[in-house]
Structure 1
Amino acid sequence: MDYKKVTVFLFFSFFTLWLSAQSYQELSGKAVDYIEKDSLLQAEKLLQEALKLEPKNPHNALLFSNLGLVQRRLGRYEDATDSYTFALNFAPLAVPILLNRAAIYLEQGLLDKAYVDYCQVTDVDKANKEALLMRAYIYMIRRDYKAARIDYDRLLELDPQSYSGRLGLATLEQKEGKFRESLDLLNKLIAEFPDDAMLYVARADVEREMDHNDLALIDLEEAIKLAPASADAYLLRGDIYLAQKRKSQAKQDYEKAISLGVPPSELHEQLKQCK
């Protein structure tokens, strides 16, 4: 007899019987405990059982939302979006649920769906900073810079010290060719956050566009010193070296970026030019 298989069978049999004896409140409460302990599969099972017990309970908005959280942490994004959608069937204007679903849509590259959710959030809460920031980001990708500026301005009106808002606005100024305005914003951010490598990369990119490559290389050297695993810094420095015909140095930086996780296919053309 395979005692290991028998033990596993008995465990799941007792677990199933135990679940059936629990009430809706007990199951949902214990599921939260499991989430806090990061025991996600157990939490998922409990939440699903609670939902089966009372499928029409209005509190299922919270249970489906928790289920979405669990599935998102497990990396099962489609299941998570389904759970958040079910939650919204019970509470259509629940801002936290809309924000969570929008974030998953963004992670999946579903910008149009994320945009709809962020618009719904701002319809309910015109001062929601997360929705304004992420909608501005979507506008930037769409190159709708006028709409992006409206959202960034509104965000900074609500929170003048917003790091993400100011960095986003600096990027917008750069996209519109307003390099001095972009540098002013980045210089102020670097004065406040001198150890933030990403800010040096951002400033170097503006300096590169202004043909101030020497300054850009100094900033990238500082960025790499602060964050040796910054693939973006190596990529940008590689681009500058390549433009300067310093092919061997460019190749080294591109290869370093690949070692840090950049797909080789994205740098195929650049590496060809390094030969």
Structure 2
Amino acid sequence: MKQLFLFTIVIMLSINVNSQSIKEYEQKIAECWSKEKYNCAEENTLDLIKFVGENYDDLYLLYANLGTIQRRLNKMEEAKISYDKAYSLNNNSCDVLSNNASLKRQMNDLEGSLHDYNLALAIKHDDEELLVNRSYTKKMMHDTVGAENDLLIVLKNNPENYQALTNLINIKVSRGDFEFALKNYNKMIADHPGEPILYNNRADLYLKMKEYDQAFQDVNKAIELGEKYDNAYVTRAEINIAIGERKKALKDLQKAIKLGNQSSYVFELIDECNRY
């Protein structure tokens, strides 16, 4: 009996040590992630995977997290391998399928992205985030009808879904349905008057409608509400370019860059301004 008792104690101590070590790894990974030290997060996640071994119940989550970390490091192929490993360990995880679908879209594998979103939605039929993301993939595939249908499903269940309504408005605008877009932006702004993104989006709509005074009024309101909202400076630059005020546009574009907007589109607009 003594031997059995001692053996039990050893097993329990081993479990406690393992649990404590796993928690320490998880805390270190979370700390690295919060400080945007993604190499550190990747290294510790790989070490944790080795530590827990192949029989760990939540191993698929570790690989899924590893894939997300690797995406932040722009290691797309490695991230795909990690997500595929996570899927092989648990093919019923909507989070794994959604992450893989998003990565495939980022890598321009739109068919693969759509396939994974379909699989995820077969598990969670009315998941709003999955439907919005599948809609975006369909839009990139130029299936605007399919994209619109997904968004309408979301809005039928939740009329207050911001992202779905905004994406639907963008589809309508691409078809020239400015009336629908303006009506809905007006309502959204009335319901949420403190959101700079809504004023910026309506300013962009007014720009497309060539109603520049209203566009300036909205984009200035967006900047007033969010001084560090870089997209608003880009929108104001676009309006200034449209009316021939390229020096003012350059100033706003430089401000957007200082705020962290390093998109190729911003530099294209700068080149356009400098040509005149």
Q: Count the aligned residue pairs.
A: 251
Residue 270 of structure 1 aligns with which residue?
272
Tell me by how many angstroms 1:138 deviates. 2.0
Residue 157 of structure 2 aligns with which residue?
158
CA contact (8 A) 1:196 1:226 kept: yes
Residue 187 of structure 1 aligns with which residue?
186
TM-score for both structures, normalised by structure 2: 0.78
Tell me by how many angstroms 1:152 deviates. 0.3
* In structure 2, distance between residues paired with 1:29 and 1:37: 12
Aligned-pair identity (%) = 26
Residue 168 of structure 1 aligns with which residue?
167
Residue 226 of structure 1 aligns with which residue?
225
Q: 1:122 to 1:234 in 2, by over 3 A?
A: same
Q: 1:156 to 1:121 in 2, by over 3 A?
A: same
Tell me by how many angstroms 1:104 deviates. 3.6
Tell me by how many angstroms 1:50 deviates. 1.8
Q: 1:247 to 1:68 in 2, by over 3 A?
A: closer
Of stretches 116-125 and 225-234 in structure 1, the one that deviates more from structure 2 is 225-234
Q: Which amino acid aligns with 1:222?
A: K
Q: 1:57 to 1:197 in 2, by over 3 A?
A: closer
CA contact (8 A) 2:231 2:256 kept: yes
| Candidates 38, 45, 48, aligned match of 1:46 | 48
CA contact (8 A) 1:121 1:128 kept: no
Q: 1:70 to 1:201 in 2, by over 3 A?
A: closer
CA contact (8 A) 2:45 2:62 kept: no
Q: Secondary structure at the match of 1:224?
A: helix
User: What does the per-residue CA deviation read over 1:107-154, in whole Å, with 9 as the maximum and x for residues that have no partner?
Assistant: 555544333221211122211111100111222333321111100001
Q: Which amino acid aligns with 1:272?
A: N
Residue 10 of structure 2 aligns with which residue?
none
User: What does the per-residue CA deviation read over 1:211-230, in whole Å, with 9 as the maximum and x for residues that have no partner?
Assistant: 21110111011111122233
Q: 1:239 to 1:61 in 2, by over 3 A?
A: closer
* In structure 2, distance between residues paired with 1:242 and 1:96: 42
Aligned pairs for 1:52-201 (under 5 A) are 55=54, 59-72=58-71, 76-107=75-106, 110-201=109-200
Q: 1:30 to 1:238 in 2, by over 3 A?
A: closer
* In structure 1, distance between residues paired with 2:252 and 2:169: 26
Of stretches 57-66 and 238-247 in structure 1, the one that deviates more from structure 2 is 57-66
